Amino acid sequence: MLKMGISLAALLAATPALAQDDEIIVTATGIAQPRDEVGQAITIIDAETIKVRQAVDIVDLLATTPGVRFNRNGSTGGVTGVSLRGAETTQTLVLIDGVKVNDPSGIGDGYDFGPLLTANVQRIEVLRGSNSVVHGSQAIGGVVNVMTGTPAEGFAGNASVDYGYSDTLNAKADVSGTSGIASGGVGAAYFRTDGISSAAGGTERDGTENIATNARLKLSFTDALSLDLRGYYIHADLDYDSFFGTPADSSDVSKLDQYVGYAGLNLALLDGKLTNRAAVTWLRNDRDYYFVRGTAPDYGYSGTNLRFEYEGVYAPVDQAKLVFGYEHERPDYDFFGFGDSGSAKANIDSVYALAIVKPVAGLAVTGGVRHDDHSQFGGATTFGANANYTPNAGATNIRLSYGEGFKAPSLYQLYDTWSGNSALTPERSKSYDIGFDQRLDGGRATLSLTAFRRDTRNQINYDYTTYTYGNLDRTRAKGVEASIALKPVDALTLTGSYSYVDARDRSAGSASYGNRLARRAANAVSVSADYVWPLGLSTGATVTMVGDSFDDVANTRRLDGYELVGLRASLPVGDHLEVYGRIDNLFDQGYATAYGYNAYGRAAYGGVRVRF
C-alpha cells in the first residue's frame, strides 16, 4: 500500500517541458495565445519530451502530468480510459489535429486511448477543468489535444526503429517541407508486439498490430488566404481476453479502423483585425469483434461524426479580442450482432462567443457563453470565465478560473433498443480553480500550484431497477496539483508532477454515497531527471508512484498502489544518427490499473534514429 502526502519530494514534479516566455497555447480558447493570457491549468508535452522519454503509448506520457489517472485492460493496445481531475473517462474530450475524435458509437462517447500511440505525434496539450464554452459536449473533466508536427522550413525528415521485449517492433518515419505557397508533411508508423496475457494469471499472450499514418498540406495563396488539409488514420488489430465475467484467456480479436479528416479555409480581413476560419471535420470509427480469428465478425459498431465549424476572431485593438463561432455536428452510429442491428443519429447546433480583454498591464480576462441545441433533448447553455495576472512581466502569474461543462447523452444511451432512454438530459458540471506559476532564476526554475473543485450533476448511469440509462448520479472532485521544473545547469533537466484528487459519489440516497469513484487514486507522483554528458550521451530516469484505489463504486475491490522506475539513454553517432534504449518497470513491479487485468513487468528495448 502506498501512502503519500504533499512534501518537498512530491513537489519535484512538473510540466514535462520548461515553459518559455513566448510559449503558445491553443486549447484554452481554440486560438493561439501566449501562456500569460490563459487563466486555466494547462500542461504541454512537447516534441523534445516525447523523443527523450521514448514512450510508445500516449497514456504513458499523460500519466506523468498532474491530475491524470488512467486504466488499461492488460496489454499494449487494450481498452484504455483517461480521467482528468477525477472525472469519468467519458468526460474527457480528445482532439487529434483539431478534430474531435470521441467515438459516437461508444456507450458513453468515450475515447479509447489504447490504439493511440505516439507514432508521429509532436505535441500534446492537456487542459484540466470544465471548458464546454469552447469545446462543447464532453469537456467536463478537461481536454487532451494531440497534434502532429508542423511542416519544416525547407525540407526535413526523421525515421526510427526499435526492437525489444516480447518481439516488439516499433518503426516510424516522417518527412515535411515548404516550397512556395505550399507546406506539408506525411508520416507513417508501424507497431507490433506479442504482448502479455491481458488476463491476470493468464498464460497466452495477447498481441497487437498498429498502423498509423498522418498527412497535412497548407496552401497560402496570399498573406490573408490559406487552405488547411489534414488527415490521420489508425488501424489496430488486437488479441484480447474475454471480459464477460472475470477476464480469462480467450481467442477474442478486435479490429479498429479510425479515419480523421480536416479541411479548413482561413481568411483575414480588415488588415488582419478580423480572421475567419471555416472548416469541415470528419471522424469515422469502425470496430469489429471476433470470437475466433479468421471468421466473420460476430458483432461490431460504426460511429461517424461530421462537423461544420465557423470561427471568427475580431481584434480591434491589441488589448481586446472577440472570439465567436457556429458549429453544426451530426453524430451517427450503427450496430450489428447477436441477431440484432440498429442505428441512430442526432443533430447539434451550437453558437458561442468569448471576449479576451487586457484592461491593465499584466491582466488578461476571458469570459464567454455557449448554447447547444440537440435534436433530442433541446438546449444547453454554458458559461465560463478566467483571469491571469502577472505583476512582473511573467515571472509570477496568478490564475483564476470558472468553467461549466456539459455532456450530451450518447446515441447508445438515448436510442439502444433495450437500455436506451430518450428522456435523458445532459450531464452538467461546474468547475473552479485558483493557482499560480512562479518563474525563478531567469526561467531555470518554474513552480506551479493549483487548487480545484468540480461538482457534476445529472450524471448518466445504468439503472438496475428500470434496466435503462438514467440521470442518476452526482459527483464531486476536489484536490491540489503541484509542479516544479528545474534546469540548474544546461545539461540537467528535472521535471515531474504531483496531484491529490479526492473524487467521490455525492448521489443522495445512494448506497455508495461518500465512496471514492472507481479507478481514481487519490495520490500520484511522477519525477523525471535527464542529463546530457560532455561526450553527448544522454541518460535519464522516470519514477512514477500511484496510490491505492478501488475498482468498484462500492469500494470493496481494492487496487493496490504501485511504484514504477524507468531508465533510458541515447547517444548521437555523428550529426544524423542516434542510438537509444530504455528499460521499463526496472524492478519488475506487479500492479493493475483495472481489476483482473495484467500489466507489463520489466521490459527492455533498443533502437536507432536518423534525421536529415
The string of pLDDT tens digits covering residues 79-117 is 999 999 999 999 999 999 999 999 999 989 999 999 999
pLDDT tops 80 at residue 7: no
Alpha carbons 61 and 580: distance in angstroms, whole number: 18
Let me know if 563 is exposed, middle or buried by CB neighbors in 10 A (0-12, 13-18, 19+): middle
pLDDT tens digits, one per residue of 162-193: 999 999 999 999 999 999 999 999 999 999 99
DSSP collapsed to 3 states, 399-453: EEEEEEEEECCCHHHHHCCCCCCCCCCCEEEEEEEEEEEEEEHHHCEEEEEEEEE
CA distances from 367 to 170, 359, 410 (A): 45, 13, 28
Q: What is the pLDDT confidence band of residue 138, given thresholds at 50, 70 and 90?
A: very high
Instruction: Name the average pLDDT for the chain.
Output: 93
Residue with cell 523523443: 51
List 231's β-bridge partners, or say none. 215, 261
Of the chain, the end-to-end C-alpha distance in Å amounts to 48
pLDDT of the residue at 11? 39
Q: Is the pLDDT of residue 19 over 50?
A: no
| Cell reading at 379 | 438546449
- Asked if residue 22 has pLDDT above 80, the reply is no
Rg (CA), the chain: 23
pLDDT at residue 150 above 90? no
Q: Report residue 563 CA to chain centroid gap.
A: 23
Q: Rounded to two decimals, what is the model's pTM? A: 0.95
**Are 93 and 132 spatial neighbours (Cβ–Cβ below 8 Å)?**
no
* 238-242, 304-308, 498-502: least confidently modelled range: 238-242
Where residue 515 falls among pLDDT bands split at 50, 70, 90? very high
Mean pLDDT, range 54-72, rounded to an integer:
96
Per-residue model confidence (pLDDT) at position 27: 86
Which residue, among 507, 503, 591, 608, has the nearest Cα to 545 in the 3D structure? 591
Torsion, Cα 67 72 76 82, to 10 degrees, reads -30
Q: How confident is the model at residue 577 (pLDDT cuts 50, 70, 90)?
A: very high
Residue 571 has pLDDT above 60, yes or no: yes
DSSP tag of 74: S
Percent of the chain residues topping a pLDDT of 90? 87
Residue 21 has pLDDT above 80, yes or no: no
pLDDT of residue 606: 98
Q: What is the pLDDT of residue 402?
A: 98
Residue 417 banded pLDDT, cuts 50, 70, 90: confident
- Sign of the Cα torsion 261, 129, 256, 74 reads positive
Backbone angles phi, psi at 511, to 5 degrees: -65, -20
The least confident of 20-34, 371-385, 566-580 is 20-34
CA distance 11 to 216: 39
Share of the chain above pLDDT 70, in %: 96
Ramachandran assignment for 166, one of left (phi > 0), alpha (psi -120 to 50 degrees), beta (any other): left
Pairwise CA distance, residues 401 & 452, whole Å: 9
Cα–Cα distance measured from residue 71 to residue 78, given in angstroms and rounded to the nearest whole number: 10
Q: Look at residue 331 in the predicted model and tell me its pLDDT.
A: 96
What's the average model confidence in pLDDT over 521-536? Answer: 97
* 9 has a pLDDT exceeding 50: no
Assigned C-alpha cell, 430: 461546474
**What does the pLDDT read at residue 465?**
84
Polymer length in residues for the chain: 612
40-54 pLDDT tens trace = 999 999 999 999 999
**Which single residue is written with the C-alpha cell 502526502?**
5
CA distances from residue 426 to 309, 415, 423 in whole angstroms, order as listed: 22, 15, 10
Spacing of C-alpha 387 from chain mean position: 24
pLDDT at 411 over 60: yes
The band of 8, judged by pLDDT with boundaries at 50, 70 and 90, is very low
pLDDT of residue 80: 97
The residue to which cell 481476453 is assigned: 241
Residues 344 and 337: their CA atoms lie apart, in Å, by 16
What's the CA gap between 236 and 597, in Å, rounded? 20
From start to end of 46-120, where are the E strands? 68-72, 80-84, 92-96, 99-100
Eight-class DSSP state of 394: T
**pLDDT tops 50 at residue 524:** yes
- Spatial distance between the Cα atoms of 370 and 29, rounded to a whole number of angstroms: 12
The yes-or-no verdict on residue 118 having pLDDT over 70 is yes
